[in-house]
Structure 1
Amino acid sequence: MKRLIMILVSCLIVSVLSMSNKPPLVHACSCALPPPIQEDLALKTAVFSGKVIDIDHPKSTGGLFPSTEAPVTITMETDTVWKGEVPKKVVVRTAMRSESCGYEGFAVGKDYLVWAHGDSIQSLETGRCERTKLLSTASQELAEMGAGYKPEPGGELDNTKKSYIDEPGASAWALYAGIVIILLVAGFMILKARKRSSS
């Protein structure tokens, strides 16, 4: 009896570890070649350079891990603008992982050239398929785009700290159900063993 219970507990531990060590599988991101710089500039909602001042990662409310598609919120202080009415403080979002075409290179305190798209300045998104990169590696883009202009004076977005809450996925619910079943079976066997020993 004890051996069977140990086997059930071991299976439970292995399941938890295997589920918590990796996010759900997604199709790999595939990027087409970008258009010429000036053509790409015309297609984007906003193109600007700035320093990252905050990175807000997605939070999970029930799953062991958020989806790789969950958006990371990047807050930046804008320095120079080449496209769009970009405020001094701006928010850009990107998928959490590169497998979902997210840009994973953002780091607090570093300067970037950001190429973003969206319905408006309040909903900008970027990713690994854009030209977004460290400003120090963007000499070709900077040379072709020219001097640029300053961000909107005094403009600050009011959505800089909106956090994405990732809901538990099917895999998480399946794991929870398995845990409950294993605990119920183990409890039933323990009670049954105690009744036999007392009789």
Structure 2
Amino acid sequence: MVKRFCVFAACLAVGVFMITVGSSVSYACKCADLRPVGEEFEKSAAVFTGKVIGIKEEKGVGSTSPTEKVLFEVSGTWKGVSESQVILEFIQTSCSIDFNEGKEYLVYAKENPDFKNKEVLTSEVCNRTVEVEKAHEDLTFLGQGDSPVKQVDLRKEMERPVPVRTLLMWLPVVGVAGIVGLFIWKGAKE
């Protein structure tokens, strides 16, 4: 009985280890020189200034890198944004910008190809995104931005979704543990 329990515990430990400790690949961020303001403006899906009012980090599962959502209160817009709040979302890499809550940024955003099922805006260190206090050249070129025309509240979208993927990953481990437990229980009865 003790031997079977030890085998069960060892199998469970190995299963948990394999699911929770996955290798992830990381790459160094390599940027060419920053594009001129006009070129960056043309290549961006959205250009706006805004204050970070919320940051939500979600841990990656297995070999997936952590993701981050950054909620901005938009103060000025030049392209692609007409609402009072916008969320940038990205998988954290060495190219990710370390946004700070309470700071105001000039953001050059593009559509994020990492999120295939929804339209998501993102920005990275290779763009000209920078704190507003360091964006003098850009703001001189861009001129006065427009105010957002539509008031929205996106704080609910920052809430963590139900972790269906995590539940689906644990289902086989629990199933195997249940089957092994059943065999141990049946063996103990004999």
State the distance in 2 between where 1:13 and 1:141 align.
Answer: 54
Q: Which amino acid aligns with 1:133?
A: V
When residues 159 and 174 of structure 1 are mapped into structure 2, their CA distance, relative to the original with a 3 A threshold, is: closer
Per-residue deviation, 1:98: 1.6
User: What do you get for the CA RMSD once the two structures are aligned?
Assistant: 3.8
Unaligned runs of 5+ in 1: none
Q: Which amino acid aligns with 1:10?
A: A
Q: Which amino acid aligns with 1:161?
A: K
Q: Which residue in 1 is equivalent to 2:116?
A: none
When residues 186 and 142 of structure 1 are mapped into structure 2, their CA distance, relative to the original with a 3 A threshold, is: same
SS in 2 for 1:156: coil
When residues 2 and 138 of structure 1 are mapped into structure 2, their CA distance, relative to the original with a 3 A threshold, is: farther
> Could you tell me whether the CA contact under 8 Å between 2:15 and 2:173 is conserved in 1?
no
Per-residue deviation, 1:86: 3.5
Equivalent residue runs for 1:8-157 within 5 Å: 8-17=8-17, 19-20=19-20, 25=24, 28=27, 32-33=31-32, 34-57=34-57, 67-68=64-65, 72-81=68-77, 83-84=78-79, 86-87=81-82, 89-98=84-93, 103-118=96-111, 125-128=121-124, 129-142=126-139, 145=141, 147-153=143-149, 155-157=150-152
State the distance in 2 between where 1:167 and 1:26 align.
Answer: 24
What TM-score, normalized by structure 1, do the two folds share?
A: 0.65
> Could you tell me whether the CA contact under 8 Å between 1:59 and 1:66 is conserved in 2?
no
Aligned match of 1:162 in 157, 162, 169?
157
Q: Which amino acid aligns with 2:179?
A: L
> Could you tell me whether the CA contact under 8 Å between 1:87 and 1:152 is conserved in 2?
yes
> Could you tell me whether the CA contact under 8 Å between 1:79 and 1:88 is conserved in 2?
no
> Could you tell me whether the CA contact under 8 Å between 1:105 and 1:133 is conserved in 2?
no
Per-residue deviation, 1:135: 3.2
- Percent of matched pairs sharing the same residue: 22
> Could you tell me whether the CA contact under 8 Å between 1:90 and 1:157 is conserved in 2?
yes
Instruction: Provide, for residues 77-117 of structure 1, a one-character-per-residue CA deviation record: whole Å limited to 9, x for no partner.
Output: 22333x22644622132213226x6x351232222221113
When residues 94 and 194 of structure 1 are mapped into structure 2, their CA distance, relative to the original with a 3 A threshold, is: same
Instruction: Provide, for residues 164-193 of structure 1, a one-character-per-residue CA deviation record: whole Å limited to 9, x for no partner.
Output: 746417xx7465313322332233123312
State the distance in 2 between where 1:151 and 1:124 align.
Answer: 22
